[in-house]
């Protein structure tokens, strides 16, 4: 059974979870950019979503063949459990909730309504959603440029001349600076705000 709860995040709460860490924020943003999580978010805590999106993207970038092997032979809930477990030390190291007031901390609790039972929650996803997720995760990560110099270098040095280089963050691109953690966090917030706000009330 599903019911509504206030699950629209804020930039302050996402900043607290990611600790304003630019690498963590970038990986989370790229994971959300390439994988459709809108139908998966209802069974996840916000923290789980950010850890999984960042971890799965990083694993795919580092060794897509190894990741595909795990994807082919593991149950989807096991994949979630392993990636989130792997990402917890980084989360615990960078998280910073000290700037949140009581109201924001309560909202953070609403954004993380589940206590355990990750396997059972993930297994509630439909076969169509799981198959789509597997297909998305099977793909290689895309190539991105975050400033003009990086873009020109990538075009020049790419092995496959047909490979497209995606440009992100136009506001910083032509200033020739990399995005800041806040740039990534703003985009993460915008994306998640478009997700459903339903949760499963029996967990």
- Over residues 114-156, the pLDDT tens digits come to 998 999 999 999 999 999 999 999 998 887 766 666 666 766 6
Residue 175 domain flag: no
Q: Which residue has the tokens 């440029």?
A: 145
Is-contact 79 39, C-beta < 8 A? no
Identify the residue whose tokens are 């990560």.
141
Q: Per the domain annotation, does 167 fall within a domain?
A: no
Q: What percent of the chain has pLDDT over 70?
A: 76
- Does a structural domain hold residue 166? no
Q: Is residue 156 part of a domain?
A: no
| pLDDT tier at 4, thresholds 50, 70, 90 | very low
Strand segments, DSSP code E, in the chain are 2-4, 143-145, 165-167, 198-200
Instruction: State residue 174's pLDDT score.
Output: 45
Residue 108 contacts by C-beta under 8 Å, 6 or more apart in sequence?
13, 16, 17, 46, 97, 100
In a domain, residue 60? The reply is yes
Domain count, the chain: 1
pLDDT at 177 over 90: no
Is residue 146 a part of any domain in this protein?
A: no
The whole-angstrom separation of Cα 53 and Cα 91 is 13
pTM listed for this prediction: 0.85
Domain range enclosing 60: 2-141+180-200
Residue 158 in any domain: the answer is no
C-alpha to C-alpha distance for 87 and 54, rounded to whole angstroms: 8
Kindly report the average pLDDT of the chain as a whole number. Answer: 84
Query: Is 7 within the bounds of a domain?
Result: yes
Q: What is the pLDDT of residue 175?
A: 52
């Amino acid at each position: 059974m599903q019911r509504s709860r206030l699950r629209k995040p804020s930039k302050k709460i996402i900043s607290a979870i990611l600790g304003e860490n630019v690498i963590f924020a970038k990986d989370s943003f790229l994971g959300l950019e390439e994988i459709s999580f809108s139908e998966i978010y209802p069974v996840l805590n916000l923290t789980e979503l950010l850890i999984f999106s960042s971890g799965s993207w990083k694993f795919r970038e580092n060794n897509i063949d190894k990741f595909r092997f795990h994807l082919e032979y593991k149950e989807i809930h096991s994949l979630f459990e392993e990636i989130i477990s792997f990402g917890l030390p980084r989360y615990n190291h960078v998280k910073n909730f000290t700037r949140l007031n009581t109201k924001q901390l309560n909202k953070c609790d609403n954004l993380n309504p589940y206590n355990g039972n990750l396997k059972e929650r993930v297994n509630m996803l439909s076969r169509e959603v799981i198959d789509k997720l597997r297909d998305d995760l099977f793909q290689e990560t895309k190539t991105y440029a975050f400033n003009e110099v990086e873009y020109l270098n990538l075009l020049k040095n790419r092995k496959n001349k047909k490979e497209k280089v995606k440009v992100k963050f136009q506001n910083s691109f032509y200033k020739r600076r990399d995005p800041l953690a806040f740039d990534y966090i703003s985009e993460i917030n915008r994306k998640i705000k478009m997700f459903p706000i339903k949760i499963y009330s029996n967990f």
